[in-house]
Structure formats: C-alpha cells, structure tokens
Amino acid sequence: MNNKFLNLIDSFKKQSILVVGDTMIDRFIWGKVRRISPEAPVPIVEVTKETQVLGGAANVASNIAALGAKAYMVSTIGSDLYGKILVDMFKEKKINADYLVYDDKRPTIVKSRIIAVSQQLVRIDKEVKGQFESRIENKLISSIEALIPKVNAVIISDYGKGVVCQKILKKTITLARKYKIPVTVDPKVEHFKKYKRITTMTPNEKEAIEGMNAKNIETGLDVENLGKRILKTLNSESVVITRGEKGMTLIEPNNKITNIPTRAKEVYDVTGAGDTVISTMTLALAAKADLLTSAEVANFAAGIVVAKLGTATATPEELKNVISEFYK
C-alpha cells in the first residue's frame, strides 16, 4: 500500500492540470492597536507588515504547482496594478499565466484582511461579480480550447465571481469528456446542480446540504444518502463529501460508499483545505489512479495543510513522509 502511494506521488511531476475559475489575491495587513481613533469609535491599527498569497482558484493552481505538476490558469484579471502583482505571483510559483484574460472593465479581485492582536478586525473586498461580457467569455473559451488537448485533467474552481458561467461550464465539461480526461469541480452552492457529467466534485458537508436544499442531515447515513442524491442529480462518476474531523465520504455508482477517516493529527487552520483536496485528488486521477486511491491521497494532503496556519499547500516530500509514517 505504501509503495502504491509513493509511486503515485512520484508520477505527479509528469502531469499537467488546467484550472478554470475565479482568481484573486488574499492580502493581509498586520498591525498593533494601542488607542482608539478620536474621529470615530474605532481602533487605530499601526501597520507592522503586509503579506499576500494567491487566493480562490489561484490557490488551487498553487497547490498543483507545489505538488510538482504543471499548472495552467484560465481566469480573468483586471488591467491594473494588482493584475500585474498577480501575474508576478503566478510566475514565482511557476504557474502558467499565459492564458489569462484581461478585462479593463473589472478590477483584479483583492480581499484585504486587517489583523491586530491576533484578531481579524475587518475584511475589505475589491471585486465586481456577475456575468462577463460575451467578448470576455469567448476569450476564456478560446483559452480553454487551446489548453485541454495539452493537459491530463481539468479542475473547475468556482468562487461565484463570474468565470464559471453556464456557457464556460458546459464547454469545459464537453471538451474534457471529448479528450477523455478527468474533470473535477470545487463547487459553489448556487451553481450546485449545474455541474453535470463530471468525474467528481468535492463539496464540504455544508455545501452539499445547501446545494441540494437538503433537510435533517444529522447522521453519517444521512450524508451517504445525500451523496447518492447528488450522484443521481448530476449524473457524475463520483462525489467526495469532506466532513472535517470525520474525514471524507466517497460515493460511487451502484451504492458503493467508502468512509475515509481523517489523517490530520492536529488542526490549526482549515483555510484552503478544500483547495488541497481537489488539487491532490485531480492529480491522482490524472495519473490514472482509481477514485478510492485518489481520495485517500487527497485526505493525507488535507491532513498536512490543516496543521499549518493560513492558506497553505503540501509538497510531495511532506506527503510521502506522512504516508510512510502512517503505514510504518
């Protein structure tokens, strides 16, 4: 079992993955609070440092690159300073940004968090949501058409900002099926029932419940039955419901259900864990692993990132070490 996983992780570096979705920058402004403003009853934050990381679908691409594979990003960015910063961040992570589409009518999405005394005081979102103009949609489709013949799998990472519209969703899934490569989805609740005929989707329990408008989901059996409903509704090959400290549940056709216990030893921060799950699972599927093996290796990767603070990724070495330790 150990060798099977280790050989699979070694094969990640041979894979190329296309990520389609909403990119953004997650910005953090850290500081101290010593007094209240005389202008209004709010704290004055004295800034001590600023950091920024890839966010949204860009974090999925970052996870792919961290695991040693080639990541291609198809998304939109603004013709602005943050757009240039985002492209530089992609280059630094060795993510291919040649197929990004510039939109001069919308800003690059930036989510800024002001943090003081280990507490987030406020978040400021700079974004314009909703459907893009047809010329932008057509450019995105052209990028997808150019890339799908070159890649081993596609991830649709939907953050509900506009890139994953019905037209792009349908085209991407149709092309992936034509080229017989896996197509996986990290879903947005409001689009939940539109991801039809995919290889797998990886909602967390809350997303699965809300996406299906389900009621009275309390037990593990309830979650399994919900997964069966999702499978039937989407006509997909599988569904993986992530369940926090309870691990994850893989639902396949013919009532085949596997509950995989969590491999996390410590949980500091669940930020970005969903991005790690879909990235690792898709890489494994691209490398021709079966659904259960792919879900298991993704579960190990999630256990690594939740033990780190902030938006994090796992490396092949970390993954190998954790798996070797587990099967010792």
Per-residue CA distances from 60 to 136, 137, 140, 281 (Å):
22, 21, 18, 12
Cβ atoms 202, 243 nearer than 8 A: no
Q: Which of these, 71, 94, 63, 96, lies nearest to 315 by C-alpha position? A: 63
Cβ atoms 130, 162 nearer than 8 A: yes
For residues 45 and 162, give the distance between their C-alpha atoms in angstroms, rounded to a whole number: 34
Contacts of 262 (CB under 8 A, 6+ apart): 244, 245, 246, 247, 248, 299, 302, 303
Cβ atoms 145, 175 nearer than 8 A: yes
Chain-centre distance of CA 118, in angstroms?
A: 26
Q: How many residues are recorded in the chain?
A: 328
Coil, strand or helix at 78: strand
User: What single string gives the DSSP state of each residue in 10-51?
Assistant: HHGGG-EEEEEE-EEEEEEEEEEEEEE-SSSSSEEEEEEEEE
For residue 156, the cross-strand partners are 20, 185
The token duo for 171 is: 């085209």
Per-residue DSSP letter, 162: S
Q: Which residues are catalytic?
A: 275
Per-residue DSSP letter, 163: S
Per-residue DSSP letter, 157: E
